Amino acid sequence: MEINPLTAESESYCIVTNRVYDWVVKQMDTTERFKGHEGLKTLDFHCGILSGLEEEGSLTGECYLTDADGNPVSPTEGLVCSELPIINGRKEAQIQTDDGSLITLQVVKLLTQGFFVVRLSNNLGEYCLSLPQPFAVTGSVLLCKPEESEIVCTISDFTCDVYVICNSDSQGNSFFQQINVDLAISQSIQAIKEETLLLQAKECAPRNIPFK
């Protein structure tokens, strides 16, 4: 039996909607480095006894996103992505498509900001937590971005890795050198613009469910 929920003939409808001109997913990477005692001072770890800071591999590190007060948050809550203005107006670049033709795209610069906390722990279960550390990552992407269109940027994935790096002096004694925090942020980036469109369509209604 054919089921047809449409209840009217085709008509012209004028609607207002956001048109997506271009859409890409891009990963932005950065490394935050905390060197020597000044780096430890910046991180300002809060902990009890934590042994093994001078021994390679004795400490494991992890990090996670937080708000400015150090409360854990999800990537969608804790990261803010925005478009940066470009000095001297719009910049464009030409790229070659798979079929050999050339298209002109616009350069879009992005800024992503947030906070993270570093946690260091040893094999005894002792750990330290740093103060929330602000970070900012900038990058650029090529998009079809007409005049008056806007950039909508959402976070699709986030990873954070911590590395405790030690070195040895001339006598072979190990000493702390620095802590590296590697951040990888995947972003869904769209160029959109509100437009009024004329569509040929039909109004529809829910399909009736027959009684048994």
**pLDDT tens-digit profile of 116-149?**
999 998 877 788 999 999 999 999 999 999 988 9
Task: Give Cα 173 to chain centroid, integer Å.
Answer: 40
Q: Which residue has the tokens 């040895």?
A: 168
> Which pTM value belongs to this model?
0.79
Q: Is the pLDDT of residue 56 over 60?
A: no
- The per-residue pLDDT for 82 is 93
The model's confidence at residue 156, banded by pLDDT at 50, 70 and 90, is confident
Q: Which helix (H) or strand (E) holds 9?
A: none
Q: Is the pLDDT of residue 51 over 70?
A: no
**pLDDT tens-digit profile of 57-88?**
567 899 999 999 999 999 989 999 999 988 77
The model's confidence at residue 49, banded by pLDDT at 50, 70 and 90, is low
Alpha-carbon distance of 105 to 164, in angstroms, equals 42
Mean pLDDT of the chain: 87
Q: Is the pLDDT of residue 6 over 70?
A: no
- Within 8 A by CB and 6+ apart from 119, the residues are 61, 62, 63, 64, 127, 128, 129, 130, 162
The model's confidence at residue 4, banded by pLDDT at 50, 70 and 90, is low
